[in-house]
Structure 1
Amino acid sequence: MAISTAIDTQPDRRGDILAILAQLGSAAHPHVHALLMPQALLHDLTDAVHAICTVHGNHPSMIDYAMARGIEIETLPWLIQSSRAFAQERAFLANLTSAAGPLPSTPGQALTDAALTQLRHTLEMLANSDRRGCATGAVSALILDWRAIRQVLDQAARRFGVPVLPLDLPPPILDVAQDEFALGLPRARGFGATQLLGQHRGLWDILEARASARRG
């Protein structure tokens, strides 16, 4: 179950992160649609909760790495706000993972563990990028895509009897000053967003394959 490889598209205009989200975001993935159905299997929801926790449940998060790196110093207040808000999401995710219980028995668990570890490492690399704009684009895409991920988590929370908390992430950074275009900042932010969303699609691909393996 290989994680999706990097995607070549590198948008270079303001607002393109939203276009990238429309094309690659989690909301469009068929396995997300399946998990949001009333008849979704508890095993599949449990598997998704554990996988999301493996990728995004650790501290420091990729937002914390980007904040510590500080390549775009002007975005630091936004990153601090995002980090604090995402800490609440991690706490919700931890409670939900505990309530979900153990992972369902699935063939190829060792391969899955390795793939998810590599995915998390890739996101950390994006957050630590020396390319100005890359981390900001990746964090903005995370904030936008988390809305769809949160729908899956909320579905699991209702099924497992965990209170659903309000989502309180700050707005993403989508615009840049006109004079920044010559410096390639929009292209870098688009690259970061594309890579983040590509990794998320890889996550859903893995979970979809595991659900199929359990049924087979």
Structure 2
Amino acid sequence: MATASFDIAGAPRPGELLRNLVARSGSASHPYLWSAALRDGPEASSNLADAIHFLCTLHGRHPGAIDHAANRTPDQDARAWLEDAISAFAIERGYLTHLAVAAGPVPGTPGAADSDAALLAQRNAIAMLACSERRGCAFGAALALALDWAEVRTVVDLAAARFGVEAPPYVIGNADRIAEAADRFAVAPPLQRALLFGAEQISIQHRGLWDLLEARQQARALA
């Protein structure tokens, strides 16, 4: 009934709100993601290696955010999506690990201890979101991670091309299916609010990652 009331009121559906939020607040809108520093500049190899190692720290461990979210989400439809996402993100995790080896060591960077501490704080924040007891928060975080990963994957694939690693098929971020999962889950306003809160916080953490990587790139350039 709550879903019908959203339709009657003409309000955007939860899936549309989720997609707009991630597009606005996530990786896609961060300028560093599209900068020459990552894509074709003279230090692109170092910057891409830095990005891969930091992504591996943030999302390369098991269990990850989606695994934790599955343990906090009893809803049958949501769990069906999460089970598929767990398998898909396992491929991404292995891909990151392979790339981290191919990329070599983390580039030496002035102030590395501070950036390492900031990265660990981000990883802890993501884990807390994915383990949230608030119904819908963990699921929203997992959905946003999958949506935003489509943009993250562009950088990961650039690194793969540069370091001679074959990219596996990309299967996690079907935006239409993610939006449909959000629509089926968020059938009442409290669930929608919780889902979008989790999504927003994941987007904030990803933007923080690109802020951190850009600051490290600038520190190396000035050294």
TM-score w.r.t. structure 2 length? 0.86
Q: CA deviation at 1:191?
A: 0.5
Alpha-carbon distance in structure 2 between the residues aligned to 1:72 and 1:116: 32
Which structure has greater helix proportion? 2
Q: CA RMSD in A?
A: 1.9
Which residue is 1:8 aligned to? Answer: none
Higher mean C-alpha displacement, 12-21 vs 119-128: 12-21
Check the 8 A contact 1:26/1:145 in 2, yes or no. yes
Which of the residues 199, 205, 217 maps onto 1:199? 205
Q: Is the 8 A contact 1:71 1:130 kept in 2?
A: no
Residue among 158, 165, 182 paired with 1:174: 182
Distance in 2 (alpha carbons) for counterparts of 1:164 and 1:55? 20
1:70 to 69, 73, 79: 73
**Percentage of identical aligned residues:** 45
Task: Give per-residue Cα distances to partners, 1:141-166, cap 9 Å, x unaligned.
Answer: 11110001000000000000001111
Q: Structure 2 counterpart of 1:214, which letter?
A: R
Deviations 1:60-116 (A, max 9, x none): 011111112235454112111110110010001100000000011101111111111
Q: 1:25 aligns to what?
A: 26
Which shows bigger deviation, 192-201 or 37-46? 37-46
What are structure 1's unaligned runs of at least 5 residues? Answer: 1-11
Partner AA of 2:195 in structure 1 = R
Displacement of 1:181: 2.0
TM-score (norm 1): 0.89
- After superposing on structure 2, the runs of 4+ consecutive aligned residues of structure 1 that deviate more than 2 Å are 35-40, 69-74
Task: Quote the Cα distance in structure 2 between the aligned partners of 1:175 and 1:32.
Answer: 29
1:190 matches 2:192: no
Q: Give the gaps of 5 or more residues in structure 2.
A: 1-11
Number of the residue aligned with 1:212:
218
Structure number, greater radius of gyration:
2
Report what 2:6 is aligned to: none
1:160 corresponds to 2:163: yes
What one-letter code is carried by the residue in structure 2 that aligns with 1:192? G
Question: In structure 2, how many angstroms separate the alpha carbons of the residues matched to 1:174 and 1:104?
Answer: 39
- Indicate whether 1:60 and 2:42 are aligned: no
